[in-house]
Structure 1
């Protein structure tokens, strides 16, 4: 049994192959940032499909691509509509100024009062 043992090398620690004549795949560095601001850089092949998220090796949370505006995502981002935007959909600025003046006049004359909570 001792005759068949590998001598002079540790198994799995070293390789007899050399990198001579080997063409490595083109790579790019993709940077991800998690919500806790941990930054992770991952080398990937240029031919690989790059995932939108990557698990943060420090905290385990989902990290998003840094500097990416989700241009590749199929679903467009929905813009946030504020109360002012919705109000402007129903009324014009001139009409709003007129309503404000009427309401302020009612408050000043005591016709309408504001309850304190």
Structure 2
């Protein structure tokens, strides 16, 4: 016999459970969704639950729809833009030159005041 005084028992939820202990599960049905890569996903929903129009494909992550012939288009990836790219979208080159000239004039005025 081994030494020690281990307490043997079970933890909550470790034993076999049947339907009688859990209760009745809701009646379910499966719905097919297809992504642009033609992967089929078949999640199950309760009969009285509202089914979503789209579902994320578990294989590739693209959005999937119920119509196999016309699945949703993959989302468009916007390239990363730098701060300068956003500024150039809002300002023309002439605006940039005017702002730069104004900032340089302020700096020159401050330098003349320091001496």
TM interval, shorter chain, is 0.3 to 0.5
Structure with more contact order per residue of length (Cα contacts < 8 Å, sep ≥ 6): 2
Pick the structure with more helix per residue: 2
TM-score, L = length of structure 1: 0.44
